[in-house]
Each structure stands twice: as C-alpha cells, then as structure tokens.
Amino acid sequence: MDYYNQAARLNGFRDASEMKVQNYESDTFKEEMASTWEGLKPLYQQLHAYVRSKLNNFYGSRFVSNDGPIPAHLLGNMWAQSWNNLADILQPYPDKPSLNVTGEMVRQGWTQKIMFEKAEDFFLSLGLDPMVPEFWSGSIIEKPKDDRELVCHASAWDFYNGKDFRIKQCTVVNQEDFVTVNHEMGHVQYFMQYKNQSVLFRNGANHGFHEGVADILSLSVGTASYFKQLGLLSEDVDVEDDETDINILFGMALERIAFLPFGYMVDKFRWDVFSGETSKENMNCHWWKLRHEIQGLTPPNKRSYRDFDAGAKYHVAGDVGYVRYFTAFIYEFQFYKALCEEAGEYIPGDPAKPLHRCNIYGSKAAGDKMRDMLKLGASRPWKEAMRVMTGQPEMDTGAIREYFRPLENWLIQRNKENNVQVGWGDLDLDSVCQQA
C-alpha cells in the first residue's frame, strides 16, 4: 500500500485510489459511484429482505434473523456475490417454470462447438462480423484432454495484429456456460470492430465498457423467446404468465442484482485503504464493516484484524480493478435498452413489449448502432461513446431499474404482505471483528 501510494504521488495523484480510477475520466468518480449505488439500493434492499425471510423460514431464527444481516456463508457462493445457487430454496413460484435449458442442451447432443457456432450466429444476425479463421484454429473451447495445466477461467484475447482473436474457455455444455460463451464472443466482436484504430485506442472506452458490451447479448440470449427459437424450450411454456415472468426475473436478480453491491464494495474497500479511511492494521475489520453497510451481510464467525478476507478474491490479490464490473452492469442495461428500442422490441409503456422480454436477434438496425460505438474503441472519451449508443452521455440506473421493475413491484408487495422488515440495522463492529 505504501509503495502504491508513493508511486501515485510521484505521478501527480493524491494517492493510489485516485490513480486507480483515472481511466474513468472524472475527478468525482468515487462520489459518482456512491451516488449510483444509492440509486440501486432500494431494489437490492427489497431482494435482500425477501431472501432473508426465505432463509429464516428454511434455517430458523437461530441462524438467520428476521431483521439483521444475512450470514454470508449461507448464500451459495464463496463471496456471496451471486445467490443463484439457492434458487431451489428461493424460487417464488416453484410449480411454475424458470429458465433452465441445460437438460435439453444435453439431451439434444449440444457440444462446445455448437455453443460457439450459435453465439456467432447471433452476431451475424445483427449484421456484425463472423469470427476469423484464426479464432477457430487458435481458440481453446474445451478443457484439453492431456495433462497440461490450464487456467480455466474464461477469457478473450486480442493479439493486436488485426486478425488473430481467440477465446480460452473450459466450456461445459450447460446454460450458464452458453451465456458465458456469448459474453466472451462479445469481447471478441469489440476487438474486431476497433482493430483499425491506433494500438493506443484498441480498448474499450473505459474499463467497464468492455464488460458491458460483452454482456449485451447475454441479456437477449437469456430470454425465453431465444431459447424457444433454438428449440431448447417447449412452445408450451407460457413466458407471459405473470408467475413464470416473476420466476425468470427473480433468477436474473439472484445473479445480477445480488452482485451489484459486491461489485462496488471491493474497490470501495481498496479506495479506503489507499486513502487512509482505514488503517492497514484494521483493514480486515473495515472489509466487514463495508460488507455489512453495503451488502447487508455478516461473517460466519468472528473475524480479526489478523485475517485478510478480501485477499480471498482473486482481483484483490491480483491487483485487478473491480468497479469495472459494477459499471458494466449499469452500462449493459443502458446499451441493451437503446438497442431494443432501435430494434422495435421494447416500447416504453407498452405492456406487450417490456424491456425484460426483448430479444434483438436479427435486427440489423440494432447491429448498426452497436457497430457505430464499438469501432470507436478508446479513441473518444467514454461519455461520447455512450452518447453514440444511447443518445445521452451519462451513466444512468434507469434502464436496469426499468428491466427489473415488475420484480421490484412484486417484491415490495410480497414483503409488505408478509410483514417483512426491509433493511438490516446498524453494526456493532466489535461483535463482528476484533480490531487492533
């Protein structure tokens, strides 16, 4: 930390927290992120309250209170950054369908190659570019059968020669990995669109743009209409049934809305360490203070200043910025809304064309709008690139709130009917973490 701050000051920054966010081209970026989180917090609090109530019913008040933070280890993920592994406990309407087509993919004999070909087909339907020959010859799309060591975390690679773009992914034939395939190919499409820029500009408009662009198609790919189009979902499934609709949105929220406070908190923690908001000695307790305040979580047992729980997250140990994923989730829905309007698949105020059911497959108009932004790379400030895609320059939570509005209204009503308290109270830090 001391060396990082020293390097930052030598480069004209007040501390490393300022240096780490320079790519976002704003002197008030940290304050903007705090404000953005406050704009999302009401939706998250309703989801948190509903999930806590269900876990209280499942485990009992001895383990999960009715009005406090949720024990982090009960949420089905090591970092409690996504809660979709608890879907079987939490699903609002267990007797109604939710989107899970893994079994049908396996039954129909889907392979890793088919998954990548279907992802390419989506981009082609928008009038975007096919994958280059080097992609198919050089990519690793399934785990090698020999004994070589390989980091299986999915990633996309630009070899900066204008023609060699690859993906490395130990793909498993399931729905989750199919969405990931589309995400990684979104990165590759971005690479290919800005390949003619100067090497200095062959990147996203900011760190969050690349992730946001990569996730645009995963929203369309995750819709029931697209799975029906692929023959993976029975035509008998009525996705316009209100209860089925809530199941689908709820499953999305367990992954995306549950992630948002974590996506913000990881870098908020690091900014506080670099800026001196917390001491080095007590930074682990500060980690749990933020997890309580922002996520509404508590540790499985009392922690200590001698621990370093944040270091269990690769991005912290590997010094990889994390707020990019928070911003990406906001950008993604902004981009998606703009493309859906361009495709005529979302009409504000029209119950027949809500945002969460939009599928832009086959829309050349949406593809043209997407290309216009992607080809800019990092050659223009990110707010100018945002304007090209959305017609306005600011990061805005309106699109993600609009996408989840039917679920948010349902959660508010259900929590009120069941007298579920929203929020998790104040923190007694000494009871959670031994400070130095």
- Taking the domains of the chain in order of start, what are their residue ranges? 1-104+121-127+175-436
Q: What is the dihedral of CA 16, 266, 24, 157, to 10 degrees?
A: 110
**Is 286 one of the catalytic residues?**
no
Report angle CA 60, 64, 65 to the nearest 5 degrees.
100
Query: What value does the mean pLDDT take over residues 217-243?
Result: 84
Residues 270, 275, 278: CA angle, nearest 5 degrees: 75
Q: What are the pLDDT digits (tens) for 1-25?
A: 888 999 999 999 999 999 999 989 8
Residue 425 has pLDDT above 90, yes or no: yes
Whether 240 has a pLDDT exceeding 80, the answer reads no
Structure tokens at 348: 């504000």
Residue 32 is predicted with a pLDDT of 94
- Long-range own/partner contacts, residues 34-43 (CB < 8 A, 24 or more apart): 34/268, 36/264, 36/326, 36/330, 36/395, 36/397, 37/260, 37/261, 37/264, 37/294, 37/326, 39/397, 39/401, 40/257, 40/260, 40/397, 40/400, 40/401, 41/261, 42/408, 43/257, 43/401, 43/404, 43/408
Task: State the catalytic residue, choosing from 73, 134, 315, 402.
Answer: 315
What average pLDDT does this structure show over 48-58?
97
Mean pLDDT of the chain: 94
Structure tokens at 100: 């899970």
- Predicted confidence at residue 146, as pLDDT, reads 83
**Arithmetic mean of pLDDT, 136-157:** 91
What is the bridge-based pairing of β-strands 297-298 and 303-304?
A: unpaired
What average pLDDT score do residues 30-59 get?
Answer: 96
> Residues 242-283: pLDDT tens digits?
898 899 899 999 999 999 999 999 999 999 999 999 999 999
pLDDT at 72 over 90: yes
Catalytic site includes residue 184 = yes
According to the model, what pLDDT value does residue 388 have? Answer: 96
Predicted pLDDT at 68: 96
Q: What is the tens place of the pLDDT at every residue in 160-213?
A: 999 999 999 999 999 989 999 999 999 999 999 999 999 999 999 998 999 999
pLDDT at 98 over 80: no
Pick the closest to residue 209 from 223, 189, 195, 226 (CA basis). 189
Which of 120, 184, 211, 408 does the annotation list as catalytic?
184
Q: Say if domain 1-104+121-127+175-436 classifies as CATH 1.10.20.
A: no
Question: Which pLDDT score, from 0 to 100, does residue 150 have?
Answer: 86
